[in-house]
Structures are given as structure tokens and as C-alpha cells.
Amino acid sequence: MKGTYLGEFEEIVLLAVGILQDTAYGVGICKEIENQTGRSVNIGAVHTALHRLEEKGFLKSKFGEATEVRGGKRKRIFALTPYGVKALREAQELRNHMWSQLPKIILQRN
Amino acid sequence: MQHSPPRLARKLLHWFVNAEFVEEIEGDLEEVFYERLTYQSLFKARLHYFLDVLRAIRPYQPKRKSSPVAHEIVHWIFLKLAFRTLAKRKVFSVINVSGLSVGLVSFLLIMEYVAFERSYDSFHHKGDSIYRVAFNWGETDYKGENSSIYASSVPALGPAVAEAFPEIDAYTRFVPVLTVKPYCVFNVFQKGRLKYTGNADNGFYADSAFLKIFSFPIVAGHTEPLSKPYSIAITQSYAEKIFGTLPYSNILGSSIEVDAQRKEDHVITAIVADPPANSHIHFDYLISYATINSSQLEGNLGWSQFYTYIVSNQVLSDEWMEPRFQGLVEKLYGNDSHIVIFLQPLRQIYLESKLREEVGPSGSSQQLMFLTIIAYTILLMEWINYINMFLARSMERLNEIAVKKVLGSTRSHLVVQFFAESILMNVFSFGLSILLVLLFQHPFENWLGKPVSEVLLTDTPYVATVLSCILAGSIAAGLYPSLLLASRPPVGLLAHKYQSSAQGIFFKKGLLYFQFIMSFILVSSTLIIDKQIEFMKKANLGMELSGCVAIRSPGTVDSTYHDRLEAFKARLLTSPFIKNVCSSSTIPGVRISKSGGVQRVVGPELDGNNVFFLQVDENFLSTYDIRLIAGRNFSDKPSGLPTVILNEAALQTLKFNSPEEALNHRIHWQLKEYVVIGVFANYNHLFLKETFEPIMLSFRPSTPGYLTLKIQEGHTEEALAIAKQQLQSLFPSTPFEYSFLESTYNRQYQPVQQFESLAKYFSLLAITISCLGLFALSYYAVQKRLMEIAVRKVFGARSFDILLLLSKSYLKITVISGVVGSSFTFYLMNEWLQNFAFATALDFFDFLIPFIFITGIVLITISYNCLRTFFINPSHSLKHN
């Protein structure tokens, strides 16, 4: 349980990486999250999260092609590892499991 | 793209972010930056970029992974490489190491001396709260200069000060024994036989607070040795001088017969440790103050030869002192006196105080400053040199560096390698210089006459500062060339397109200018100091000292004294070897201690009227060959009023227009009336640093003080033998001690001469160091132009042309340094010569000679490298390129 624990932001980053597939690099991920959640995200925070997730083994990365826009610097393209997918799934299951236990009355009242 | 992110931020990114991630992060940030530019101002975009960078530098970002360099340092590979490189280029290494060590040795020795001078009087426990009460009588001489500020004060002052101010806890008074009793002989008898006899050396009448205020520990005997009259405390070395190895228990309680005017036994009550070398108060013995036993002592306000020191329970500032002391002076001397009393903190006395009648010799903070600057300059020159040599030598190593780079050495690899070499060289030089310092320690201390190493370890902060300066400098000198070399791109190095950047050239030239200006200043200053010394030695002093021998006036002054002394003089004069004899209260070369204001009985009121008072007999002027320019000499025939002869300076003080005008005028000096019978030409009573002081000769045929014998040339020994024999027949048990006036007089030059030999030594050192640097630089310059020279030779250039070509730029440096150095020297030496009342004049040759000298040395130094190129076959150097 503890090994695959994901924070809220980490979960969102992982999901964004999954959605973007081959274009999942720092700025792209950052923008995706901003679009999806509507909140402004700091690029530094994304970098930190990406590298921590890679260290934990949820993500893997490789260098992409260099482009003009970035002054010739290569992008690092991130992709989900099977372990990462498993972690996402576990997080979702945990949530579903807990949702199912929520008494109906609470949901109705609000 | 027109705009780019701020450079500093990018650098930060590279410094602090793991190399593995930096590319990607930088790319991302740049992408965001350019996107922002489309809707934001450049400033805002840059600001955001900066902030992003700062956010990217997170503490949890893995730091730079340790590079292989660190790994290899552990394996000592660089140290090994450094050893090999140094061993391979032996000549360069030896020059470098010896240059560095010589610089360090002189630096360390100078710093030792400076530390010693700074340490004066630091051993007193109460040091910070002890002050000396100094006395300004407020009397000015005819030039308007105050010549009456004394370190000594009057007997009444100590008690008066302590009584008036509760801030002052205690006071002590002391006075040199020889001041109170000019003739004083110590005799020690054991079992009724005379064991020791000698003139009283350096000692004080001191009150019992003396040993409590100052930290001169008592080794054996009474805890309050100076409380009773006729008690004497002697130092350990004086005890050894008198009693040899006798145990202290036997010495204590025995007595010394003090023969001064009358014979009195003094009981030894204590043995005191020798005053440390860094004390401004030195003594061989102390006699209790009460022994003086003079009716004039208590409450005396005019006897100005007593030193008064006080201990205060708080810091006494000038503002505190001034109004209070003024009040005290008014109480003691009345409202209309010019007298000013002031305090001098004990720790500052040695270096800062330059008053009349100082307790001991004093140092000079100005000189220490000068020495400190010189020491650091030498060290700086040495490091500069080291850098130059290192860069010059690296010419040979360009291939090595290039190949290393191509094979994958990083910049830091190379820096570490070069730095290892520097460290090795510096450590080696430092070790060597410590050895040399230990070796030179003894001769150095002998030369200075001061045990400088004794106090070295007591001033820890100072030593630490000096050592950290050395450390920082060595590191900087090692790191700079390493960084410079390692930063060159490999391709350029391989292709031998090694061109210094404009900045590099400027730097190197700057270093050369600095070195040569310093050398020039030092060489020309040495010559000028030398010139001044010669000037002083050759100057006409207005008197003749050669062949003069001084003896302290013999015997107890009693009723028979006058007759015996006259008999002694008469007997001496019968000898064919003795041309003349005179007695005087003091001799040339020794300051006259008696002075006071003079007034004319008839004539204008005088203001700046301090005049020095010398008691002599009728032979004084003839013995010293001092010229009488008007009037007559003293004669035995008594006339009504006591008579005086003035010198020209005193004439000016008294505002007489001509010598003749002064004759037969009556004057007042210290409440007595005198009549002027003659005027003598000014002579240099003290050496030429001092002006002609106004002197008044008064007639006293057998004054206690000194006897001067003028001896026939070449018969010194016979004359001295006769003098000794006659002295002992007329004054039995008087020790015969004499000094040659010329040498005692010349002893005044000693500080200047020491200064000169220091300057000489430094200029030699500076020249050597600069030439080493020049040699390295010219080597480097010639090496760079080998091909050019070869081509020129092929096309028929003569050797002379090439020499000119190669030496032109160095000659330019010499000339410019010469001009700049001359102006500095001119200014500095003019300042220095201000210290002398009689100074030599500076002229063009004082600067031309050092210029020719240095230019010659420069040419010799570079000619080796230039000549070398002539003998290389042009085809050889062409082929190599």
C-alpha cells in the first residue's frame, strides 16, 4: 500500500502523462493539467513531480528530438510504466471502494 | 530570436541543477519564456524565467554527481603527475621554489620583527589601565617649536593626581639613579675584601608601588622590597654579574656600598626577574624612593626628571582628562602657566611617544607600516612572478594539455592537475622557508639586537592573520594560472595558435610594471638614504670629535673634589700624548637635559625662549675645536656675575642681531642673573637629524658629568694607561670606564643605517624577483616568435635588428617604470628627508643611476633568451612549425 501511494498532484501528473502519450514532456504536461483542472500550475512543481515519479518507477523517460523553439535543447518525453499504470488503477480502485461505502443519504442531502 | 533569457539565471541553473536534468529543464523553461514573450513584456518574461529557475533549484534535486576527478584525487594520480612534471623541468622548478622561499623568508622575518615591535609592554597584567603622566612645559624655542614636552614630570605630580581624581587608583614615581647622583659607584665587599666595583648601571629610585603596578615579578626575597630607605632590589642578571653563581638566599640581606657623594650601605631585599626584552622600561636594579633623602623632594614642582605612571579603574579619554588636568595645573602652578599635563596609555608609549627624556629607546609606527607594506609587496611580487613563470612554462605544455583535452579530460581535471603542481610547489617552498627562517633566526636577532622570536607566540591573532594571508595568496596564485590554462579550447592549442587575450596581456604587462616600479623605488631610495648618511657623516659638525675620549667624572663630590679634579686634569696635561682635557656636564651625542626659559634684563620680552644649559670649564671650546666668534672664553678670574657663552641659535632666541651686540648683556635664566661674555659658532651637539638647539655654556670648572681627553693621534693606548694610573692614584677605587666620542656619536646613526641596510636588502630582493619574472616572460615571448625570427633571418635580418625587436617592449616598460618610480621616490624621499634638520638635496643623478642600473640588468636578463634564438638554425625552427 505504502509503496504505491500517490498524492493528488502526482496522480494528476501521471494521468496527464498517460493522456498525452508521445508528447508528454514538461511544458506539455503543465499545459494539459492547466487545461484539465483550470488551475495554474508551476513548471518547477511539474518537473519535481515528474522526477520523483520517475525515481519511484511510475514513469520512464527518453530524450526526444531537438526543436528550434527550445534553442536546440531536447525534450524529455515521459511515459507510464506498467507499475505506474498499476498505481493509478489502485488509486482509482481505492476511491471506488470507498465511494461505494459512502451512505446514500449523505449524497442525497447535498 | 531576438531576446533571450537572462544569462545569470541560466548560469545558476547550470551550477545548481544536476547535469542529467539540466538540458530538459532549460529547454522547458526557455519554451515557456518564449511563449510568455508573445503576451508579456520582456522584463516580466525574464523575471518569471528567473523565478522559475529559482524554483527549479530545489534542495531535494539530486546534487551534481561526484565527478571522476574527485575519485582520481583520492588516488593521488594528480600528485604523482605533479611530481613528475616538476622533476622533469628542474631548472624552472628550482627557480620557482627558490624564488618563492626567498620571498617567504623575508616576509616571515619582517613579520616577526613587526610582531615583536607591536608586542611592547603587552606583558603587564594591568597594561590596559596604566598611563604615563607626561608634562608639557609650554616653552617654545626661537623657531616657535615647542621643545619642552617631556616624558618625565615632577615629584609632586603623582600624589597630587591620585588625590584629585578618584578614578585613579594608584601611582608610582621613579627616577634614574644617575640623574639624581651623576657619580655613583657600586662596591661589594665579601669577608672584608672588595669583590666587585663598577659604575652604577641602569637603575631607578622607585617607590614601592612600582613592582605592584608593573608586572616585573619578584623571584626571591621580600614582597615589598622598596618600602624602606636604603633597600635595593636587583635583577637576576645583575645578581649574576655581581655575585656570580652565589645562591639567592646568600645574596638576600647582604649589602652593596653605594658610593655617591657619600658612602652608604644598601641592603638587598629582593631579586627581580629581568625586564622582558619588549619592555620600554629597563633596569638592572631598583633602589627605594625614600633613599633619595632630599629636602627638595616632597612637593617639588620644578624637578622635572621623575617619571609618573598611574593605574586607573576606567578608560581615561582625552575629553575626560583635559579640563580636569587643566584645573589641577592651575591649582599647582597658578593661572598664568603654559603647562599642560596629559596621559599616554602604556601600550602606545613605545611606538607612538617621541618626547624628551623618554625612559628608553622608542620604536616607530611609521617605520613598521613601511616594513609591513614592503613585506606584503615582496610576497605579492613573488606570487605574480610565480604566475608569470607558470604561464611561460605552460608554452611547452600546450600539446600535453591539448591531447589531454581531446582524450576527454574535463576542465576540472586540468585545473586539479595544475593546482596540484602549485600546491606541491608552495608546500615545498613554505617548508624550505621555515627551515631557512630557523637558520637565519639567530643572525637576524643578533643584527637587530632584539630577541624577536621570544614573543612571537603570544600575539596569536596577529600570527593567524599573517599565516592566513600566506595561505590565501598561495591558493590564489596557484588557482589563477590553472584556470587560465585549462579554459583554452583544445583545437587552438593543438594548432599552436596560442594567442593571449587582450586581457591576459594587460594583466601580464601590469604585473611587470608593478614589479619594475617597485624595484625602481627601492633602488633609488636606497641610494638616496645612503647619500644622506654619507652627507651626515661628512658634514662639518662645527667641532672635532676624532681623538676624543670621554670618562665619567670620577669620585665623590666633596670638599676636596674640586682640587683633586683640577690636579687630575693638570697631571693629564703633562703627558705628551694628551693634547687637551676638559670637564663638562654632558658630551656631544648625549641630549642636554637641563633647559628653561631665558629673558634679557634689558630688552624686549621674549616668548619662544627655551634654552639648553651646559656646564663646562675653560677648555671645553678648545678641546672640541668649537669656534668662538665673538667675545672671550671663560677665565679663572672671578668677575661679579656668573658668566655665560651663547651659541648662535641662543643669540637668535634672545633676539640679538649680531654676536657683538650680545656681549656684556645681562640675562635671566631660572631666577639667576648671568652676563654674556662670548658667542660661539653653532655645532651639532646631536647628529644632523636635529636642528641647532640654543645652548648656553656656563662656567663651572669641576662639574660632575664627563671628562674629555683629546689624545695625540696614534698614542691612544699610552694616553689611556696614563689616565687610568692618574685616576686611580687620585680617586682610589674609582672604576676606569671610557668611550671613544666619535663612535658614541656615530651610534646615533644606527637606526638610519639599519633602515638603509634593510632598504638595500629589499631592493636587491625586488630586483632579483623582477628579473626572474622578466626572464620567464621573455622566454615565453621569444618562444612564441621563433618562426617569425627564423623567417626574418632567412631574409637577412642582422642579429642586432632581432635583439632590438625583441627587447623593444621591455625597454619601454623600463623607461615608463623609471619615470613613474622616480616620481614616487621623489615624493617619498622628500617626505623622509623632512625628518632631518640637515638634509642632502635630491638631484637628477639620484634617479639616473638607478635607471641605468636597472636597464642594464633588464638587458642582461633578456639577452640570454634573445641570443638563444640567433644560434638556432632557421630551418630547424621552421621545420618544427
Query: A34 touching B, CB under 8 A?
Result: no
- In the 3-class helix/strand/coil scheme, how is A29-69 assigned residue by residue? HHHHHHHHHCCCCCHHHHHHHHHHHHHHCCEEEEEEEECCC
Q: Transcribe B355-367 into DSSP letters.
A: -BT-SS----HHH
Among B679, B702, B733, the domain-final residue is: B733
- Asked if residue B605 and residue B657 are part of one domain, the reply reads yes
Q: Is the residue at A79 inside a domain?
A: yes
Same domain, yes or no, for B764 and B812? yes
Residues B350-386: tens digit of each pLDDT: 998 888 788 888 888 877 888 888 888 888 888 888 8
Asked whether the beta carbons of B410 and B69 are under 8 A apart, the reply is yes
A74 contacts in chain B (CB < 8 Å)? 23-24, 27
Nearest to B24 among A30, A69, A75 (CB): A75
Q: Does the beta carbon of A48 lie under 8 angstroms from any beta carbon of chain B?
A: yes
Beta-carbon separation of B58 and A48 below 8 A: yes
**Record: contact B30-A71, CB cut-off 8 A:** yes
C-alpha cell at B748: 646615533
Q: Is A71 on the interface with B (CB under 8 A)?
A: yes
Contact call for B55 and A45, based on CB within 8 A: yes
DSSP B406-441: HTT--HHHHHHHHHHHHHHHHHHHHHHHHHHHHHHH
Comparing CA positions, the residue from B88, B107, B261 lying closest to residue B177 is B261
User: B271 with B252: CB under 8 angstroms?
Assistant: yes
pLDDT of residue B488: 66
- Residue A2 counted as domain residue: no
Write down the pLDDT at residue B284.
93
Among B700, B733, B766, the domain boundary falls at B733
- Which of the listed residues B698, B733, B768 is the one where a domain comes to its end? B733
d(CA B37, CA B42): 6
Question: Is residue B446 in some structural domain?
Answer: yes
Assess A68–B contact: CB distance below 8 Å, yes or no: no
**Chain A: nearest CA to B30, how far in angstroms?**
6
Q: Are B260 and B555 in contact (CB under 8 A)?
A: no
Average pLDDT, rounded, for chain B: 83
Selection from B542, B746, B748 nearest residue B649 by Cα: B542
CA A107 – CA A88 distance, rounded (Å): 25
Q: Is A25 on the interface with B (CB under 8 A)?
A: yes
H/E element, B517: helix B502-538
- Give the residue on B whose Cα is nearest the Cα of A28: B28
CB contact A70 to B (< 8 Å): yes
Q: Which three cell numbers stand for residue B825?
A: 621616490
Residue B191 falls inside a structural domain = yes
Domain CATH for A28: 1.10.10.10
| Closest listed residue to residue B729, CA positions, set B559, B581, B567 | B567
Total number of domains in chain B: 5
Nearest CA-CA distance, residue A94 and chain B, Å: 29
Nearest to B741 by CA among B591, B550, B562: B550
Distance between B15 CA and the closest CA of chain A, angstroms: 17
B748 and B660 belong to one structural domain: no
Q: Which residue has the higher pLDDT, A59 or B561?
A: A59
Q: Is B140 found in the same domain as B76?
A: no
Q: Which domain holds residue A16?
A: 8-109
**Domain count along chain A:** 1
For B780-836, give the DSSP string: HHHHHTHHHHHHHHHTT--HHHHHHHHHHHHHHHHHHHHHHHHHHHHHHHHHHHTT-
Q: Do B508 and B454 share a structural domain?
A: no
Whether A3 maps to a domain, the answer reads no
B5: distance to nearest CA of chain A, Å? 11
pLDDT score at B489: 65
Q: Which residues pair with B309 in a beta bridge?
A: B132, B172
Domain that holds residue B21: 7-65
Q: Is residue B676 within 8 Å of residue B662, measured between CB atoms?
A: yes
Size of interface A-B (CB pairs under 8 A): 55
Is B361 inside a domain boundary? Answer: no
Name the CA dihedral angle for B860, B480, B478, B421, rounded to a multiple of 10 degrees: -90
In degrees rounded to 5, what are phi and psi of residue B583?
-115, 145
Question: Are residues B588 and B607 part of one domain?
Answer: yes
B671 plus B787 within the same structural domain: no
Binary contact (B24, A74; C-beta < 8 A): yes
Distance, CA of B409 to CA of A103 (rounded, Å)? 68
B868 and B754 in one domain? yes
Nearest to B29 among A43, A45, A69 (CB): A43
pLDDT of residue B756: 83
**Which run of H or E residues covers position B292?**
none
Question: Is the CB of B24 inside 8 Å of chain A's CB atoms?
Answer: yes
Q: Do B28 and A44 touch (CB under 8 A)?
A: no
Same domain, B492 and B504: no
Q: What is the pLDDT of residue B497?
A: 47
The pLDDT score that the predictor gives to residue B60 is 47
| Per-residue pLDDT at B171 | 93
The answer to whether residue A35 is domain-embedded is yes
* φ and ψ at residue B131, rounded to 5 degrees: -130, 155
Q: Are residues B622 and B697 in the same domain?
A: yes
**CA proximity to B397, closest of B788, B772, B86:** B86
Is B739 a domain residue? no
B654 and B710 fall within a common domain: yes
Decide if B548 is inside a domain.
no
Report the C-alpha gap between B466 and B868 in whole angstroms: 42
Cα separations in angstroms, B781 against B99, B458, B806:
21, 49, 8
**Residue B233 is assigned to a structural domain of this protein:** yes
Give the whole-angstrom CA distance, residue B656 versus residue B647. Answer: 11
User: What pTM was estimated for this model as a whole?
Assistant: 0.72
Any chain B CB within 8 A of the CB of A74?
A: yes
Same domain, B264 and B231: yes
Q: Give B50 to chain A, closest Cα distance, Å.
A: 12
Q: Taking CB atoms and an 8 Å limit, are A47 and B21 in contact across chains? A: yes
How large is the ipTM? 0.82
Residues of chain B with pLDDT under 70: 1-2, 58-76, 141-144, 261, 395-396, 488-507, 555-557, 636-639, 880-881
Cβ distance A70 to B58 less than 8 Å, yes or no, reads no
* Vertex B101: Cα angle to B95 and B107 (nearest 5): 135
* Grid cell 622635572 in the structure block, residue: B304
Among B31, B56, B61, whose Cβ lies nearest the Cβ of A69? B31
- The model's pLDDT over B694-745, given as tens digits with 9 standing for 90+, comes to 899 999 888 888 899 999 988 889 999 999 998 888 887 778 888 899 888 9
**B680 three-state secondary structure:** strand
- B358 lies in a domain? no
Contact A73 B26 (CB under 8 A): yes
Examine the pLDDT at A37 and tell me if it is beyond 50.
yes
